[in-house]
Amino acid sequence: MLAERLRERGIRDERVLAAIARLDRAQFVPGASPEEAERDEPLYIGFGQTISQPYIVAYMTEVLAPHPGERILEIGTGSGYQAAVLAELGAEVYSVELVHELAEPTRERLRRMGYRQIHLCEGDGSKGWPEEAPFDGIVLTAAPEKIPEALLWQLRPGGRLLAPIGPQEDLQYLVLVRRDPQTGESAVERLLSVRFVPLTRPSSPTE
């Protein structure tokens, strides 16, 4: 039912729709009823974080267009829903989550669901995962005010990066960055206005 509603809203990639259909979103929203989980809206998952509405997850996945075997870096694991959608499409997913209280149960959830191709680490998402770079695609599920330079350097030539950009209290835009396979130069395309939680960084010891 959820996949059909997304089709009606304009999602056309059958692989993405099939991936959404195979997943039970309620498994990624502890405490939510099946009816709540099926709604096309963001839901609170604790610790100031949300799971994105299914349309945005589907749209971002469709734009990123991951192919089987590609290495995708996700910034902001949350409850693991976006990572699971990417894995359903055959991607090898490397996901970074700052909030320990989300990272641990999500790691266990994904392990229990059998996603051996999702690798999760705790840390500052703005720094990416340099030990595993370069990546064919990078997707951010939280909004920085500008794209961190470290992430651009971890994107393979020919790769693409998808991120919501802008301050929490102002208008944000979803942007697509493509790195030219020959020159390595980046081209930026603005897609649509969005609203995401901010990309946070660890507090310093003096804060």
Domain boundaries, the chain: 2-194
Question: Catalytic residue positions?
Answer: 52
Q: What is the pLDDT of residue 30?
A: 83
Q: What is the pLDDT of residue 203?
A: 63
| Cα–Cα dist 23/61, whole Å | 14
Q: What is the pLDDT of residue 15?
A: 96
- Does the domain at residues 2-194 carry the CATH identifier 3.40.50.150? yes
Q: What is the pLDDT of residue 206?
A: 42
* Cβ atoms of 178 and 149 closer than 8 Å: no
Q: What is the pLDDT of residue 111?
A: 95
With a cut of 70, list the residues of the chain below it in pLDDT.
203-207
The counts of H helices and E strands in the chain are 7, 9
Mean pLDDT of the chain: 92
CB crowding 45-70: b at 16 or more within 10 Å, else e: beeebbbbebbbbbbbbbbbebeeeb
| Cα–Cα dist 38/32, whole Å | 10
Q: Which tokens go with 1?
A: 């039912």
User: What is the pTM for the complete model shown?
Assistant: 0.92
| Cα–Cα dist 102/42, whole Å | 16
Q: Which tokens go with 197?
A: 């939680």
Q: What is the pLDDT of residue 190?
A: 94
